[in-house]
Structure 1
């Protein structure tokens, strides 16, 4: 999540203009600032290796906010520490939420939005049926994705409500009420959006859904922000008289020597971190394997991945195809890649079969765990599942492969905040690429028959780069 970078500075300026008189400086605050400053180099070192990890961003932001608060305590004691705590802590609203938290909220919002949409459509006379995060209408299927569910709108609304609460100097209870009201307005607006899109799809065809999708999203944003601003304006109380600004020499008010030392420390940290990675980072040699599409098979066809889905995935490359195998089984293959340096690569860990297929109405019957398949001399781990989707049983094989320059690492079910970032940093590896491979098969009697067919065909579908296979074999 992002936000206007000047918002915290603006709020700090508002507080500075009517700041209270400083109390006795807290001399011990400098030791807290020094301790937090010592955390900055290792945090930046890890963040450079894994910029997509929320834990790195949060650690760095908390350290910076803590240092700023310590300087305020050193300059103006507890009086300034309390007074400036909100604008300095406000920078935390710009830090991305942990992916596990986003995933939980997204799933709940998508399922809830789909359910509410179906209920409203039925009330207004449009037949609809919910299947996971899908809304089935007579003319087609509407997928309630993360964008439609409003997760990004909720993140923006948290930031906006906190900003407006401070701007209008609302009391704590009113600030909380403003946030709750803003979140409720956002959720309601997104439900109305999906109802309108579904209604258009039912009367004008599914092309109308794609045609008005982005416009409806913009309307939700404008309406949500406008209503929240109106609520904040109505909640404001009569303006309290501002305290007269204290005309203190800036050299006394702010601990300039300590500020200068910290700036030098931050600069030295950036230079040291960049030097470390420049000295260890090898040249990117490309992906370790590629897909050999079976264009000669029956009913082979490439699938068009909608632009909306690509924006949701935030990937650099996506390909998909379906075909019927010689034994009569129906196969689907999806390849998605996030190039090295793409900070959205962490989203690859969210788009997994146990998440996405469940969202489409499939029911997971079995999780068969991870097994390793060898292609050429390269071991590739796959996680396999079986799903029930209507009358069909799907056998799904999934691998998410993390590739770094000069390194190969694959895992079928990666951890969100694991120890991989320490290993990357120690080896001086950054700009990690991710590629996701998912193969879904139907028409097989059992997991064993599907597994046998998968193992027999995998070597024909994947072409491993020779030098990558050699490194993997060592």
Structure 2
């Protein structure tokens, strides 16, 4: 006579899906909060500066690229091949960036328009995210998901000391090109006037 094998209660049984979802929630929720705070700080620049208004779309594109990498196939986890020194380095970087974020947030509230703070915040978020990916899947995951993480950085406003000379040089080049083009058609050159018009248009 075959005896029926008693099944475990429904609240005790844990499916494979639950085993996968719980770690993802445990890791994903803190990272989501981290990136939400970063985007919230940068959103002021995205809102008031038309040159960086595209920043509203960058987080969604980065998240979509990350999802594509996740769906197309994740590399096998090979944390056994990673040395303990690299794990310790990753944990140190994560802890260091997390410690920096607390006082950094205080300075951001006081000086929300100071762009180097935005870069420090974004780089800290990138470092923490890459560190978590390394701890989960090693170098394979780090290489696989690094592009979607770094894709967010173009949305961070450039530091004024770097941005201003580049824009100034581009405007001078455009003014010179426009003046030469007008000269080909017999129009007198007014490079300085064209440059002033370009500057006025960029600052409008």
TM-score bracket for the superposition, by shorter chain length: 0.5 to 0.7
Larger radius of gyration between Structure 1 and Structure 2: 1
Q: Give TM-score scaled by structure 2 length.
A: 0.64
Partner of residue 194 from structure 2, selected from 132, 135, 142 = 135
The alpha-carbon deviation at position 79 of structure 1 amounts to 0.9
Q: 2:198 maps to what in 1?
A: 144
The 5 A counterparts of 1:257-268 are none
Q: Give TM-score scaled by structure 1 length.
A: 0.29
Partner of residue 20 from structure 1, selected from 71, 75, 79 = 75
The alpha-carbon deviation at position 97 of structure 1 amounts to 0.4
The alpha-carbon deviation at position 135 of structure 1 amounts to 2.8
Q: Determine if contact 1:110/1:146 at 8 Å carries over to the other structure.
A: no
The answer for unaligned runs of 5 or more in structure 2 is 1-51
The alpha-carbon deviation at position 146 of structure 1 amounts to 6.3
Name the structure where helix makes up a greater proportion of residues: 2
**Which whole-Å CA distance do the structure 1 matches of 2:154 and 2:56 have between them?**
8
The 5 A counterparts of 1:68-79 are 68-79=129-140
**Which whole-Å CA distance do the structure 2 matches of 1:147 and 1:65 have between them?**
34
Pair 1:117 & 2:181 matched: no
The answer for unaligned runs of 5 or more in structure 1 is 137-141, 149-311, 314-474
Q: Deviations over 1:2-53 (max 9, x none)?
A: 2402011011111112221121166322332112111110111111111111
2:191 aligns to what SS in structure 1?
strand
Q: 2:145 maps to what in 1?
A: 84
**Which whole-Å CA distance do the structure 2 matches of 1:79 and 1:146 have between them?**
49
Q: Deviations over 1:331-374 (max 9, x none)?
A: xxxxxxxxxxxxxxxxxxxxxxxxxxxxxxxxxxxxxxxxxxxx
Q: 1:325 maps to what in 2?
A: none
The alpha-carbon deviation at position 108 of structure 1 amounts to 0.7
CA, structure 1 residues 95+55, in 2 after alignment: closer, same or farther (shift >3 Å)? same
The 5 A counterparts of 1:172-191 are none
CA, structure 1 residues 78+146, in 2 after alignment: closer, same or farther (shift >3 Å)? farther
**Which whole-Å CA distance do the structure 2 matches of 1:102 and 1:147 have between them?**
16
Structure 1 stretches of 4+ with a deviation exceeding 6 A read none
CA, structure 1 residues 146+93, in 2 after alignment: closer, same or farther (shift >3 Å)? farther
Give the total of aligned pairs: 143
Q: Deviations over 1:266-322 (max 9, x none)?
A: xxxxxxxxxxxxxxxxxxxxxxxxxxxxxxxxxxxxxxxxxxxxxx26xxxxxxxxx
Q: Determine if contact 1:115/1:130 at 8 Å carries over to the other structure.
A: yes
**Which whole-Å CA distance do the structure 2 matches of 1:37 and 1:135 have between them?**
48
**Which structure has more RCO (C-alpha within 8 Å, separation ≥ 6)?**
2
**Which whole-Å CA distance do the structure 1 matches of 2:102 and 2:200 have between them?**
35
Q: CA RMSD in A?
A: 2.0
**Which whole-Å CA distance do the structure 2 matches of 1:71 and 1:50 have between them?**
29
2:75 aligns to what SS in structure 1?
coil
